[in-house]
């Protein structure tokens, strides 16, 4: 008779290890809707998920070594990250890249996400999604989908942006801005170059 504790520990170990190869539900939804829209059969090239515990270990370990400020801030910022890369094995039955974005928009909206960036160029599509609510400096999550020819990449990153904010605050150089500022171009409400 195998002790219950041993079975539980083994089960948790298996769950923990397979967790490295399982995407979170939001990213999986993005992947499913994209694949469903494009159609055909897909081969998984890689699917990796680094969760909060793993990245906490990496952060703790990295503190033992001297690191430049930028990679240190990046490590401190990222709390979970995952990526899945898939390749279309058969012919696509997709109506077009725009219908792909429409499908992923609908699926993600159902989970409370909204698209902030959408790019469509020939057969390449990019969609960037953020949660509609509950985001802040300490809690930020982004999901990205990229379809390039026959390759589909879905990824998500969640993190605490405060370390990054501190770095930006230290490094921000006001003189680097060369655009047109408010002081450069005083508004003239009724002074068009040419009016009809």
Partner 1 sequence: MKRTMVAAAFGIAIVVLAAAGASLRAETPPGQVDFGTLSTAGSNSGFVEVNVPASLIGLAARFFDKQEPDVAKLLDGLQLVHVSVVSLNGQNRAELERRAEQFRHELETKGWERVVKVLKDEQDIGIYLKTQGKETVQGLALVVFAGKEQAVFANVVGDIRPEQLALLGERLQIEPLKKLGKITHNAEQ
Q: Which one-letter DSSP state was computed for residue 72? A: H
3 state DSSP class of 175: helix
Looking at the Cβ atoms of 25 and 121, the one nearer to partner 1 is 121
Min CB(44)–partner 1 separation in Å = 29
Nearer to partner 1 by Cβ, of 80 and 142: the residue is 142
The DSSP annotation for 83-141 comes to EEEEEE-S----S-HHHHHHHHHHHHHTTTEEEEEEEEETTEEEEEEEESSS-BTTBEE
C-alpha to C-alpha distance for 191 and 176, rounded to whole angstroms: 30
Tell me how far, at minimum, the Cβ of 96 lies from partner 1, in Å: 6
The SS3 of residue 161 is: coil
CB closer to partner 1 out of 4 and 177: 177
Write down the least CB distance from residue 185 to partner 1, Å.
4
Closer Cβ to partner 1, 68 or 169, answer by number: 169
Q: From CA 76, how far away is CA 167, in angstroms rounded?
A: 11
CB of 167 to partner 1, least distance (A): 10
Nearer to partner 1, 50 or 107 (CB): 107
Conformational region of residue 178, where left means phi above 0, alpha means psi within -120 to 50, and beta covers everything else: alpha
- Phi then psi dihedrals of residue 98, to 5 deg: -70, -35
Q: How far is the CB of 126 from partner 1 (least distance, A)?
A: 9
Q: How far apart are CA 118 and CA 84, in angstroms?
A: 19
Q: Could you tell me the smallest distance in angstroms from the CB atom of residue 132 to partner 1?
A: 7
Report helix, strand or coil for 157: strand
Contact residues: partner 1, CB under 8 A: 96, 98, 101, 114-122, 130, 132-133, 135-137, 140, 161, 165, 168-169, 172, 174, 177, 179-182, 184-196
Task: Using the structure block, give the residue that is written with the tokens 């370390």.
Answer: 163
Q: Which is nearer to partner 1, 47 or 73 (CB)?
A: 73
């Amino acid at each position: 008779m195998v002790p219950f504790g041993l079975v539980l520990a083994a089960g948790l170990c298996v769950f923990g290890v397979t967790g490295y190869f399982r995407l979170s539900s939001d990213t999986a939804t993005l992947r499913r809707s994209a694949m469903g829209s494009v159609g055909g059969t897909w081969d998984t090239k890689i699917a990796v998920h680094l969760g909060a515990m793993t990245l906490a270990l990496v952060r703790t370990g990295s503190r033992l070594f001297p690191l430049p400020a930028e990679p240190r801030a990046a490590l401190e910022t990222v709390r979970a990250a995952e990526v899945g890369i898939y390749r279309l094995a058969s012919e696509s039955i997709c109506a077009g890249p725009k219908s792909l974005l429409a499908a992923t928009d609908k699926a993600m909206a159902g989970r409370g996400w909204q698209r902030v960036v959408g790019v469509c160029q020939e057969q390449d599509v990019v969609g960037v999604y953020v949660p509609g609510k509950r985001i802040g400096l300490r809690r930020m999550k982004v999901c990205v989908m990229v379809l390039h020819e026959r390759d589909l990449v879905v990824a998500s990153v969640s993190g605490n942006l405060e370390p990054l904010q501190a770095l930006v605050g230290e490094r921000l150089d006001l003189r680097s801005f060369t655009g047109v500022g408010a002081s450069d171009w005083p508004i003239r409400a009724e002074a068009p170059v040419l009016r009809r």
